[in-house]
């Protein structure tokens, strides 16, 4: 009972307080305090994430489950970056060490420019992330080729609008016809915006209603079960 009721009570009290805070400035000091708590809790939650990653991957490594090699790479990468970015600066700060710890001419401790952390960030993290995002262009092309079929009047309208917008959003559109970007802007600003606003208003109402359900205690499934 306590496991369910106490969190529910906290949810209701804090939820209503944050709604009331918007209208009554007297609550501002406490809402600031609550927001600060939230910031601290969010930061602490990272520990939960690290614990989860470590538990699952260490288990995989110790049991030599399928693809356990990937887990080794993951754990090694995680530990290395935590040591360079957090542990070393912490040790330096606790023991008041001012001198630099260098390896191959680069600082081992810290996250600012000129450190090994930044070196790994620039040479591995940046290109890998960029590659993942770039995949989107290829996936858009294959999804468009596969699914953009003119099967009905609606689908035809959709395809024509998509082609105009795609071509009108880049300079080549105006090279083909000077009015292309204007037409593309009109599609984006009039029919597109009208439909988007309708969906947005519906979604916003859904979000508000979910919020109300939660702070009224009607919806409790997110606390685990009914």
* Binding residues for other proteins restricted to 145-174, rule: CB under 8 A: 145-150, 159, 162-163, 166-167, 169-174
Give the integer Cα–Cα distance in Å for 182 and 31. 47
Binding of other proteins at residue 209 (CB under 8 A)? yes
Using the rule CB under 8 A, which residue among 112, 152, 153, 154 binds other proteins? 112
Residues 185, 168 contacting (CB under 8 angstroms): yes
For other proteins, the closer of residues 80 and 216 by Cβ is 216
Considering only the C-alpha atoms of the chain, give the largest distance between any 2 of them, rounded to a whole number of Å: 73
Token pair belonging to 178: 């000077």
52 binds other proteins (CB under 8 A): yes
Task: Give least dist CB 167 to other proteins, A.
Answer: 6
The neighbouring-strand residues paired with 103 are 106
Residue 155 CB, shortest distance to other proteins, in Å, is 10
- Regarding 193 and contact with other proteins (CB under 8 A), the answer is yes
**Euclidean distance between CA atoms 46 and 82, whole angstroms:** 12
Residues 6+ apart with CB under 8 A from 58: 71, 75
Select 1 or 132, whichever has its Cβ closest to other proteins: 132
73 is a site residue for other proteins (CB under 8 A)? no
Minimum CB–partner distance for residue 220 and other proteins (Å): 9
Residue 223 contacts residue 4 (beta carbons within 8 Å): yes
């Amino acid at each position: 009972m306590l496991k369910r009721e106490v969190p529910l009570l906290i949810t209701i009290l804090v939820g209503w307080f944050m709604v009331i805070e918007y209208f009554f400035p007297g609550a501002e000091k406490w809402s600031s305090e609550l927001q600060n708590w939230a910031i601290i809790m969010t930061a602490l939650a990272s520990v939960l994430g690290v614990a989860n990653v470590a538990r699952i991957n260490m288990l995989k490594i110790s049991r030599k489950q399928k693809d356990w090699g990937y887990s080794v790479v993951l754990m090694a990468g995680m530990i290395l970056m935590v040591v360079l970015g957090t542990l070393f600066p912490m040790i330096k700060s606790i023991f008041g060490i001012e001198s630099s710890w260098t390896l191959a001419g680069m600082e081992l401790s810290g996250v600012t420019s000129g450190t090994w952390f930044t070196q790994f960030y620039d040479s591995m993290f940046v290109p890998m992330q960029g590659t993942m995002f770039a995949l989107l262009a290829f996936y858009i092309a294959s999804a468009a080729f596969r699914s953009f079929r003119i099967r009905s009047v609606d689908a035809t309208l959709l395809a024509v609008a998509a082609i105009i917008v795609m071509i009108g959003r880049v300079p080549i559109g105006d090279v083909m016809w000077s009015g292309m970007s204007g037409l593309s802007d009109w599609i984006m600003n009039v029919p597109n915006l009208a439909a988007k606003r309708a969906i947005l208003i519906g979604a916003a109402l859904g979000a508000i209603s979910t919020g109300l359900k939660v702070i009224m205690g009607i919806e409790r499934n997110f606390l685990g079960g009914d």
